[in-house]
Amino acid sequence: MAYRITTECNGCTACVRLCPTGAIAGERKALHAVNPSLCIECGACGRVCPQDAVQDAFGIACRRIPKLSLWPKPVVDAKICVSCRICIEGCPASCLAGRMDGGEKHEIAFLAEPKACISCGFCEADCPVEAIRLVVPEQPAVEVKQS
Amino acid sequence: MNRGYMGKILMVDLSRGEISEEVIPDNVYENYLSGLGLGAYILFNRIPAGADPLGPDNILGFLTGLLTGTGSFFSGRWMVAGKSPLTGCWGDANCGGNLSPAIKRCGYDGIFFKGISEKPVYLYVDSGRAELRDASSLWGKDAVETEETLLLEGGKGARVACIGQAGENRSLIAGICNDKGRLAARSGLGAVMGSKRLKALVVNGKRRIQPFNRHEIKRLSQSCNRWVQFQPPLFSGPALSRVGTLMRLLPTQMAQDGLLYKFFLKKWGTVSMNQVSIEIGDSPIKNWKGTNEDFGPGRSLTVNPDAITGREFVKYHCYGCPLGCGGKCSLPGQKGGETHKPEYETVLALGGLCMNEDADSIFHMNEMLNRAGMDTISAGGTVAFALECYEKGILTKDDTGGLELTWGNAPAILALVEKMIRREGIGDVLADGTKVAARRIGKGSEAFAMHVGGQEPAMHDGRNDPGFNVHYAVEATPGRHTIGAQLYYEMFQLWKEVKGIPRAKPLYSKDRKYLADHEKAVMAAACSKYMNVANGAGLCMFGLLMGVTRTPLFAWLNAATGWRKTPGQYLDIGARIQTLKQAFNIKHGVDPRSIRVSDRMLGKPALPAGANKGRTTDLEKVRGNYWDQFGWDPETGVPDPEALERLGIKT
C-alpha cells in the first residue's frame, strides 16, 4: 500500500524535497510519481501539496496544512518515557534524540530538530508506553492594530 | 501482509562486487523465525562442506530479530553468524545498541557477505540502494574512529558496524563493533569480516516495520514494563558481596527469581555481579585454578558495583529496552576520555582471572579492546593462560619481550593486551586465543589453556552451576554462556507456559545441582530451544531472565506475525533451529564428541578449597541425555536422517 499522486500535480517539487525516503521522483513542472516500494505512508507529501494532488492508500485525498507552523509536533512526557529509543530509531526524519531530563542518569526522548519533523506521527503510534502526543505548537500571539 | 519481518535478504558477493536482493518465502520464517534461525537456514544450505572460515566460501550474515521494530521491548539485538575460525563450528554472536532496527529498516531481515574483496571496502545500504564503497583510507583505523568517519559519510540516522585492528589482523578472537565500543564479540567473526576485507557495514534505513497487531504488542509491552519499572531501594554495592558470602555458606539453594537480578541490572548493570559472583563461586579465579579465597571481598573491593558506577556519567539504553543496563564512564587519568561501562565479563576476565585488582587498568584495557574490536572474555582468558605459563617457567622474560607476567601485575597485563592487539612479539603468539597459543608454545602448556572447542569460556564456572559446563559443551557454538544453565532455567520459568517440563523446586540441597540425572538434560534442552526462539526474535537475554510470563516472548511473536502458535510449538521451532545448527557442524566434519571442556573446568581434579570445593561435573551422562532430547543419536550427537527429514531439513 502506498500513496499516489494524481494529475492535479503541477510539478512544484515540494513533496520531492520533503519525502524522507526519497520515494517521490519528479522534475520541476512535470508530473511527480511515488515509488510504492519506498513509500512508508508518512503523509508528508499530502500535507505539503498545494494542489491537493496526493491520495492516501485508500484513495482518499490528503488535506494540506498550509502553514508549517500548524503541523503537529511530538511532545514527550518525561515522566512516562522509559528511554527505550523506539521513537528515536523509528523516526523517518531522524529528528528525535535523547537528553538528560530529571534526576536519573537516563536520557529521555525529545524533539531535537523541530524543523525536520514531518508530523508523520510514527513516534506517537510506536511508543509502547504512550508517552508521546502530537500537538499543534502554540502560535505566537498576533498583535491586532486598533483603528 | 504485515508480519513483523521484511521478507527479504541482501546477498553481497565481495569477490565479484555484486549485490542482489532475495525474497524469502513465508514458510521459512514459520519454520525458523528470523534472526539466527534465518541465518542458520541460509548458512547451512550455502556454505560448502569443509569451507575455510577465512576463505571466500564462508558467508557472514548480519541479522535482525523478528520482533525488532514491532514495538516489543528488549528486541534490539542484532546478530552475526558464520563459520567460526576460532572453533571451526557454527559461529554466532550478538550485540545490542541501535544497529538492529537500522538494518531492518533498509528492508532486509539479514545482510549476507560471501567472497573476498580485492581491496578494503564497506557496504552502504539505505532504503533504496546498496553499494560497495572504498574503505582503503579506513583500513588501520580503530573501530571508534572508523564509526565516527562513517557516520559523517552515511548521513543523518546512519548506523555502523565495523571491525578494528584485531579483525583486520585476523585475530581469531576478534569481534564486530557497533555504537562506538559495543561488540558482537564471540566466535571470532571479526576475523571473518577482516578476511573478506570488509571494514564496515553502514545502514541508513527509513522503512517502516509493520507488525500484524501493533495494538496488542503495545499492550503486552506495557504489562512487561510494569515489572521493569518496579524497583525497590537497594543496599550499597560492597554490601552486595556479603549477600554472595551468605549464599555460599548456606547448604541449600533457593530457586532464583530473575526479577531480583533485574533490580541489580537496573541499578548497576552487569557489574552488579562482580563481587557476588566471586563469593558464590560463579566466577573463575586465577585461570580457573584459584578460588574465592584467593580473591576475597577485600581484594575485589576496587571493582565493587558502586566503584564502577561512580565513574558512570550517563546510563544508556539499547534500542527497545526500558531497563538500561549500559553506561558511559570517564576514563581514569585521561581528560575527556570515555569508555563504555566495562561489563561483568570484562571486569572478571581481566580482573579476577588474572588476579588483577587494579580497576584503572581494567577501564583502559576495556577501551583498548573495544576500539581494536577484540573479545574481552577471550583476551582475558588468554592473558591468564600466559600468566600461568610464565609462572610455570614455560614462558620466560625473553619470550615476553621483557614483560614480567606475574599474577596481578597490571602494567604488564596492559602491555601484553596492547601487544596482542598489534600482534607484536608474544602478542602475535597469543592473539588467536588459548588453544592456538598452546599449540604454538607447546611444552605442555595445553594443560593451562582453558577453552571449549577452541573458545575461551565466559566468567561462569561450571563447577558452581554444572549447567554452564553442559551448555559450553553441547551448543553448536562451543563455550557460550548466554544460552542455558540451571540458573537460567529457574529464571526463565518456562514451566508456567509450556506443559511437560519440570518446575524448579523453590528450595533444594546444593548437592542436587550436581546429580547428572535425566531432568538436567530436559532443563538444558528447554533452555537451548527457548534461546533459539529468542535469538530468532532478536530479544535480549536480560529481558528474558524476568521470566516468560513477565517478558511475554511467545505472545509478542503471535501478535507480530498473526500466527496462533502455542508456546510448545515455538519450542519445537527452537528445536528445529538447534538441529539445523548441529547438522551444520556435522556437515563441516565436526564430531560433537570431540568438543572437549578443559579438565580443570570440569573439576578434574576437584578444587581443594573454596566455594566449589570437591565439585565435579559428569558431562558425558548429561550430554548423551541432552542429545536424546532432540532425537539425535545419544552416543554420537549426530541427528539421524529421519529426524532431519521430519523437520524438513535437507542434507
Interatomic CA distance for residues A82 and B223, integer angstroms: 13
CA of residue A133 relative to chain centroid, distance: 13
Q: pLDDT grade, residue B143 (50/70/90)?
A: very high
Answer for the pair B112, B20: CB distance below 8 angstroms, yes or no: no
- Kindly state the DSSP code that residue B639 receives in the 8-state scheme: B
Of B71, B217, B324, the CB nearest to A83: B324
- Whether residue A14 has pLDDT greater than 70: yes
How much is the average pLDDT of B468-492?
Answer: 97
How much is the average pLDDT of B31-37?
Answer: 98
> How confident is the model over B315-339, as pLDDT tens digits?
999 999 999 999 999 999 888 899 9
> How confident is the model over B116-137, as pLDDT tens digits?
999 999 999 998 899 999 999 9
Contact check, Cβ <8 Å, A41/B313: no
Query: Helix/strand/coil (H, E, C) string of B74-117?
Result: CCCCEEEEEECCCCCCEEEEEECCCHHHHHHCCCCCEEEEECCC
Q: pLDDT grade, residue B646 (50/70/90)?
A: confident
Mean pLDDT, chain B, rounded, equals 96
Percent with pLDDT over 90 in chain B: 97
Interatomic CA distance for residues B469 and B479, integer angstroms: 8
Answer for the pair B326, B315: CB distance below 8 angstroms, yes or no: yes
Which residues in A lie closer than 8 A to residue B327 (C-beta atoms)? Answer: 105
Q: State how far residue A38 is from chain B, nearest Cα, in angstroms.
A: 7
How much is the average pLDDT of A27-42?
Answer: 95
Does A94 touch chain B if contact means CB atoms closer than 8 Å?
yes
Q: pLDDT grade, residue A147 (50/70/90)?
A: low
Q: State how far residue A3 is from chain B, nearest Cα, in angstroms.
A: 14
> How confident is the model over B490-536, as pLDDT tens digits?
999 999 999 999 999 999 999 999 999 999 999 999 999 999 999 99
- Kindly state the DSSP code that residue A139 receives in the 8-state scheme: P
Of A20, A106, A128, the CB nearest to B218: A128
Cell of B315: 546510563
Does A100 touch chain B if contact means CB atoms closer than 8 Å?
yes
Q: pLDDT grade, residue A138 (50/70/90)?
A: confident
pLDDT value for B243: 92
Nearest CA in chain B to A125: B214
- Whether residue A103 has pLDDT greater than 70: no
What is the enclosing helix (H) or strand (E) of B503?
none
Contact check, Cβ <8 Å, B315/A105: yes
Contact check, Cβ <8 Å, B319/A85: yes
Contact check, Cβ <8 Å, A106/B157: no
pLDDT value for A146: 67
Residue B589's Cβ-side half-sphere holds a number of Cα atoms within 13 Å equal to 7
pLDDT value for A142: 74
- Whether residue B651 has pLDDT greater than 80: no
Does B17 touch chain A if contact means CB atoms closer than 8 Å?
no
Query: Helix/strand/coil (H, E, C) string of B110-126?
Result: EEEEECCCCCCEEEEEE
How much is the average pLDDT of A98-103?
Answer: 80
Contact check, Cβ <8 Å, A105/B314: yes
Best probe of the B interface among A38, A41, A42, A82, by most B CBs < 10 A, is A82
pLDDT value for B440: 98
Contact check, Cβ <8 Å, A105/B101: no
Q: pLDDT grade, residue A101 (50/70/90)?
A: confident
Contact check, Cβ <8 Å, B206/A21: yes
Strand, helix or coil for residue B157: coil
Q: State how far residue B645 is from chain A, nearest Cα, in angstroms.
A: 37
Of B156, B228, B320, the CB nearest to A85: B320
Which residues in B lie closer than 8 A to residue A104 (C-beta atoms)? Answer: 315
Number of H helices, E strands in chain B: 27, 17
Say which amino acid occupies B47.
Answer: I
Give me the helices (H) in B351-409, please.
359-372, 376-391
Contact check, Cβ <8 Å, A92/B221: no
Interatomic CA distance for residues B90 and B88, integer angstroms: 7
Which residues in A lie closer than 8 A to residue B128 (C-beta atoms)? Answer: 21-23, 35, 38
Q: pLDDT grade, residue A104 (50/70/90)?
A: confident
Is the ipTM above a cut-off of 0.85? yes
> How confident is the model over B266-310, as pLDDT tens digits?
999 999 999 999 999 999 999 999 999 999 999 999 999 999 999
Cell of B295: 580473591
Omega prior to A74 cis, within 30 of 0 = no
Answer for the pair B87, B65: CB distance below 8 angstroms, yes or no: no
CA of residue B322 relative to chain centroid, distance: 21
Q: State how far residue B355 is from chain A, nearest Cα, in angstroms.
A: 32
Contact check, Cβ <8 Å, A85/B318: yes
Of B222, B313, B327, the CB nearest to A128: B222
Q: pLDDT grade, residue B487 (50/70/90)?
A: very high
Interatomic CA distance for residues B405 and B387, integer angstroms: 5
Closest to B174 (Cα-Cα) out of B445, B533, B433, B427: B433
What is the enclosing helix (H) or strand (E) of B517?
none
- Whether residue B242 has pLDDT greater than 70: yes
- Whether residue B650 has pLDDT greater than 80: no
- What's the Cα-to-Cα distance from B549 to each of A110, B84, B223, B348, B497, rounded to whole Å? 32, 35, 10, 32, 8
How much is the average pLDDT of B338-366?
Answer: 98
B306 backbone dihedrals φ, ψ, rounded to 5°: -65, -35
How much is the average pLDDT of B413-424?
Answer: 98
B177-214: b or e for each residue (b if 16 or more CB lie within 10 Å)?
A: bbbbbbbbbbbbbbbbbbbbbbbbbbbbbbbbbbbbbb
Answer for the pair B4, B70: CB distance below 8 angstroms, yes or no: yes
pLDDT value for B387: 98
Answer for the pair B62, B190: CB distance below 8 angstroms, yes or no: no
Interatomic CA distance for residues B34 and B538, integer angstroms: 8
Does B98 touch chain A if contact means CB atoms closer than 8 Å?
yes
